[in-house]
Structure 1
């Protein structure tokens, strides 16, 4: 079981992708030609003034290639069915890339709007264009804060997450201060509810660790738009382990593990190390949670 757990930990930490709105990467002419515009990212701007900032490491090469960023409001569902030239002409904003830094303001909208960012150059719609060197870039997507300044890294659908996890951690802290002593006394006494209390306490502790990791990730995300991806992965891991532990308890109850003082248990709780079926259920639960 320990080997299985270690494998799952490695899969979660190494297989997860970081999602942040400070995007770094390479503008590739070949990718832009194959995809009729290289997809860079999506971002949901709020109703206020948004800002797109693009910084280049080699602006001279970008200018020679006539590089540009194309911004589409993600209401055009038929973009993939258009020809290359038609697709490029449908952009709501075109940002020519010829300097080290370019700023583009997104006009106010009555409601949050999702925008798609593509990259194109003069060879995007040419079948036999010459392949150029890649250009490294940094792209910042910013929403307006409460003062109207474009300094907020969170997209519209992520607004309030940082405050939510702060309040959740505060609730966990207050609950620990109130219930930790009675819980420890109950665990020391033992009794028929002893195992249930241990499982529930473990699940709540793992949920608290998940909330803490999410808060650390979002606290850094609010400053740089990238966050701490490792903490985000750990948060998902602790959440999955917590749910599997609850699944263990529920399956044990279904298999006849009684909680009554007046009756003897008809069967032992599920033993993950000895039961192939329970191991399969645990693995299936973790994989399902990972996919979701």
Structure 2
């Protein structure tokens, strides 16, 4: 069921409107029922900002586009009549031809809502002539660096393409430098190789998610639509990466690979039903909540806790996972007599705490900033913190460290050490 939901979410994204080239149908009936048909929303900032529309036919009635700022839109939602609602709009534009441009200015970063309504229908409650059912295309632009309205990115998305390009570049460089030595370490099947395999799998999924996000925003910068398939695929990979990390962290927290050579076999994990139930149960809840939140919204983002109650529940879930992890670490450490192993678990706990708490903490911090910055702060902050946590775990597992000292097969030698300066040193 879980995999079916993920597949449906990816396929559903292929046909959905995305970003700020928006397509749909002007419907007189919907405009009447909803007291204005909501088309899209966009963070405008600067002068001039531009809305460009294209219709497959001319509007036969007095249909208009109405623009509301976020505060105005919330106030308008409480209006009892359609006329009062459209009267609350800051701007309105007539749809007098099949194609036209509208320019205006937004002196501060504001979320604007674009609504279609017909004045005569609002006033009389009945249609004047034939109801409109017209296909439309809207393109929304902010001014670029030269002051021309050619930038598809809203103020809340500007800079994300550059960020993901940087992340992918860093992943590529680190893979070229440390990839061969890491593969050699895993191939020798030392005491930590299964942990490294799971950590590397989670990292690879995270890298793939960043790559698909970059490809989406690269296309988005050109056409304002991007690739819904890539964006939804990246979210699926994020969920899978989190499940693999959770599975590995909880098992290590409960003593896997530190209890003897028999414990290093992956098949023995089947004898630990607690971890399996926790990971599958909480992981499935996390995936369902993420998919539910995305189905509810037309704005698809990897990190979206600031947008809805369902998104905030993902933050609560991450805190629950942190408590489960902390409890597992505490129980394991309370049974440990070896001071070396207790020191290892303490170092391990600090690195993992960064991974578990980065999302909730950054979401809380983001609420201290204006709305147009929250998505960028959450997205970049979580990716950076989780990547840093992974680097710390690699350093702990790959160096001649506490983990190496307490592992069952520590007589073997490691081919790679990652010290504080991340210089490579070979051991004979």
Give the TM-score of the pair, scaled to structure 1: 0.89
Alignment of 1:22-33 (within 5 A): 22-33=21-32
Q: Which moved more, 1:279-288 or 1:244-253?
A: 279-288
Q: CA 1:5 to 1:89, structure 2 compared with 1: closer, same or farther past 3 Å?
A: closer
Question: 109, 112, 115: which is aligned to 2:112?
Answer: 115
Given that 1:27 and 1:135 are in contact with CA atoms closer than 8 Å, whether structure 2 keeps it comes out as yes
What SS does structure 1 have at the residue aligned with 2:150? strand
Question: 68, 84, 103: which is aligned to 2:82?
Answer: 84
1:241 maps to which residue? Answer: 240
Alignment of 1:25-64 (within 5 A): 25-59=24-58, 62=59, 64=60
Given that 1:221 and 1:227 are in contact with CA atoms closer than 8 Å, whether structure 2 keeps it comes out as yes
CA deviation after TM superposition for structure 1 residue 24, in Å? 0.7
Alignment of 1:58-73 (within 5 A): 58-59=57-58, 62=59, 64-73=60-69
Question: 88, 92, 99: which is aligned to 1:94?
Answer: 92
Bigger relative contact order (CA 8 A; separation at least 6): 1
What SS does structure 1 have at the residue aligned with 2:142? strand
Given that 1:12 and 1:233 are in contact with CA atoms closer than 8 Å, whether structure 2 keeps it comes out as yes
User: How many corresponding residue pairs?
Assistant: 284
CA deviation after TM superposition for structure 1 residue 258, in Å? 3.6
Q: CA 1:278 to 1:223, structure 2 compared with 1: closer, same or farther past 3 Å?
A: closer
Given that 1:73 and 1:115 are in contact with CA atoms closer than 8 Å, whether structure 2 keeps it comes out as yes
Cα distance in 2 for partners of 1:21, 1:179 equals 40
Q: Which moved more, 1:130-139 or 1:177-186?
A: 130-139
CA deviation after TM superposition for structure 1 residue 18, in Å? 4.7
Cα distance in 2 for partners of 1:271, 1:137 equals 58
Q: CA 1:154 to 1:33, structure 2 compared with 1: closer, same or farther past 3 Å?
A: same
* Residue-by-residue CA offset, 1:72-111 (whole Å, 9 max, x unaligned): 12222211122221221222211111112121112140x2
2:206 matches 1:207: yes
Q: CA 1:72 to 1:5, structure 2 compared with 1: closer, same or farther past 3 Å?
A: closer
Q: CA 1:266 to 1:223, structure 2 compared with 1: closer, same or farther past 3 Å?
A: closer
Q: CA 1:266 to 1:255, structure 2 compared with 1: closer, same or farther past 3 Å?
A: farther
What SS does structure 1 have at the residue aligned with 2:248? helix
Q: 1 or 2, which has the higher helix percentage?
A: 2
Alignment of 1:12-31 (within 5 A): 12-16=9-13, 18-31=17-30
2:125 maps to which residue? Answer: 127
Cα distance in 1 for partners of 2:272, 2:26 equals 49
What value does the CA root-mean-square deviation take over the aligned residues?
A: 2.5
Q: In structure 1, list runs of 5 or more residues that go unmatched.
A: none
CA deviation after TM superposition for structure 1 residue 215, in Å? 0.8
Q: CA 1:18 to 1:139, structure 2 compared with 1: closer, same or farther past 3 Å?
A: closer
Cα distance in 1 for partners of 2:237, 2:115 equals 36
CA deviation after TM superposition for structure 1 residue 253, in Å? 2.3
Cα distance in 1 for partners of 2:290, 2:270 equals 21
2:282 matches 1:286: no
CA deviation after TM superposition for structure 1 residue 264, in Å? 6.0
Q: 1 or 2, which has the higher strand percentage?
A: 1
Q: In structure 2, list runs of 5 or more residues that go unmatched.
A: 294-310, 312-428
